[in-house]
Structure 1
Amino acid sequence: MDVETSCDAGVLELTLNRPAKKNALTEAMYQALVEGLSRAEADESVGAVLIRGEGGVFSAGNDIGDFIAAVQTGRGLAAADFVRKLATFPKPLVAAVDGLAVGVGCTLLLHCDLVYASPEARFSLPFVDLGLPPEAGSSLLLPRRVGLARASAWLLLAESFDAQEAKDAGLVNAVVAAPDLPAFAREKTRKLAAKPRAALMESRRLLRGDPSELAAHMEEEFSAFMSALHSPQTQAIFAAFLAKSK
């Protein structure tokens, strides 16, 4: 399974397990993630969710070939369903990031309440270089989280950054040695799951503010993203990327 699901001590754990492809996300993986989050939301025994990657990498973002095939065949983009689910998910989300966190592998972290990373973690938001605007609400959430100047460098210049910079900026809560990261993140997620549920969820809701603003911004992003995706310039960039990867 490219997405493994397990449940223990009130924590539902979603593990990206496609290390040979750097955990690049396919339509099927997005669907599995949505199903996992839906299960966690409905299951009263689940108090929090942990997302992590296997094989020394978190996620290289979209599997470009699979993504383009989905667009060309007119299938609904499961990636959009996934980020919408993240934005409306009512229970705490925790991420453990080891290795690469690229594209949506990075923007999904903005929907997490706690993010822990190994010293080897490397973050990148290469949307502009691919001829695309940001997604997953990142053009709203990232400047809120790290400030406009840093968000501009990361999104407009597409400059990658390491775990320490991510921590200094406020994207990451703590940097933890890679061998200790899964257990550390599980412990923190279990602590969240053991808290009084109603108070925890209400506190989380208040911290996040008006959800309608994020929802409207994400729809605006999605419209801009899809428009750019069909532009000749972006299609040429993707064609060159696919040719290079063969």
Structure 2
Amino acid sequence: MKKLVGLFITGLLFLSSCGSVPLTGRQQVLLVSDQEVVAASLTQYNDYLKTAKLSTNATQSAKVLRVGQKIAAATEAYLKANGLSADLANYAWEFKLVNDKQVNAFCMPGGKIVVYEGLLPLTTTDDELAVVIGHEVAHAVAKHANERMSQQLVAQYGSSILGQVLSGKSAAVQTVASTVYGLGAEYGVTLPYSRKHEYEADYMGLVFMAMAGYKPDVAVTFWQKMSANGGSGAPEFMSTHPSDANRIAEINRHLPQIKAMVK
């Protein structure tokens, strides 16, 4: 009986915690509040910055900031125009370039985006860099980290006791945040998003970069360069991502729609 009651309560929690992703409309379950996700991620992000070496390349750092701010502004304009102004309180955008030769980039909830110098040879133009930053901004806007943390809460604590955990979940959120963000782990701070999240971030990122005035067509050649750069093994940035061929095919499929949407 207790198990049935627990499952019933959990079912109610799921029903009351449903949301939808901007642009795509995909339904998602978000069991953690935006405030808790941002607070947990900010702790991880600040710990990372204590050990990371910021780039000393002023020109490239300015480029990352310039492109990032333009995409963030376009994204916020979209959210305001579509009745999502309340979500803006969750974002305090930062765009950092770090001195690291890995071909990598990541975004923490709240809009903390880091680009590694190892990506610079593949992002020689603002448009190419916008592909990367747009993708990362999309992860934040789609609340993929919250969704991932919610999945981990269910997996870690089990559906039958999830209601009890969520009633006072700060400690649980911090525990799960460490797992999801993986700071100090082999793959650093890259979130292990699912392929579904990656495809969604690709699409949303292209829309946001187009809204900011960048050319979404360059995404095809950018990912072709990323594929060639991987050689016999995919670079870390792509380690949990869709295959090159599938990703490029999806981008090509969406490009006509995106260009028609953003004129």
TM-score by length of 1: 0.23
> Larger helix proportion, structure 1 or 2?
2
> Larger strand proportion, structure 1 or 2?
1
Structure having the higher Rg = 2
Higher relative contact order (CA 8 A, sep 6+): 2
TM-score by length of 2: 0.22
